[in-house]
Amino acid sequence: MKKLFFIFILLLFISSCGSSFGATGNIYLGFAGDVGYYDFDKQEFIEKKWTSVSASGLYDDFDISWDNKKILLTMDVNGTFNFDERRYVLRKIEDSFKKKDLDEDGKNLIDNTYEWGDISYLTARISPDEKYLALEAQYFSDLPMTIIDTKTGKEVSQWEVEGVSFLKYGTPTWTLDNSVYFKIGTGLYKSSPSDGYKSAPKVLDISGASYVSVKPQTELEIR
């Protein structure tokens, strides 16, 4: 009952905001292990599209493509604990997310693995052109901020700042021009496709900020 009441109040707020500002597309909601979405165009709420890792032990995380039509899922390779590789799959949002369907129905647009020692969870963000994944740094596996090629699963670039704990790295954020921004300690860094993501200069000091996100207008927002 509490879950339904919470979602009802949240949807009233979302619906009123969407109507006021002419919002389109979907907004995704995670609650108690379930992930659903609200479709602004159809004024329709799908309460449970799939179950997240906290309840099923299958999916690590998810990300939505920039065209709002596909979903990136990260997970264990074999459905059991595997400490050296993670699987990532890109599918159309309307397709099934059941493990059997991911393995057998042939609808995966991208299906690959990334290998890294002691990795047991993967947070990935897909680029607008869907050619790259930006991986969030990981403290327990000593994984730096990393960009990989979606087709090969191979690393394109990695960055870390000496003396800064991986706990102080932020979730990477893409912009429409396929540049990626990420927080390390008190600095904001940027890497772009102009040099094949080979460099990542510090572009701003953001002392006191917790995270970086992108507004719909593709402007950076720092909080």
Q: Which CATH superfamily is domain 52-222 in?
A: YVTN repeat-like/Quinoprotein amine dehydrogenase (2.130.10.10)
CB atoms within 10 A of CB 71: 22
What pLDDT does residue 206 have? 85
Each residue's pLDDT, cut to its tens digit, for the chain (223 residues) gives 434 433 333 444 444 455 444 566 677 666 656 777 667 677 776 666 656 544 445 788 889 899 988 999 998 887 566 678 999 999 998 888 888 888 999 999 999 999 999 988 899 999 999 999 999 999 999 999 999 999 999 999 999 999 999 999 999 999 999 999 999 999 999 999 999 999 999 999 988 777 677 765 555 566 5
**pLDDT attached to residue 143:** 96
How many Å apart are CA 132 and CA 83, to the nearest integer?
Answer: 23
Domain ranges of the chain: 1-51, 52-222
The burial of 158, by beta-carbon neighbours within 10 Å (0-12 exposed, 13-18 middle, 19 or more buried), is given as middle
Structure tokens at 190: 């940027």
* Structure tokens that stand for 117 in this block: 């020692």
Q: What is the pTM of this model?
A: 0.79
Q: In what order do the strands lie in the sheet with 173-174?
A: 173-174, 180-184, 187-191, 202-205
- Bridge partners of 138? 143
* Encoded tokens for 24: 């389109």
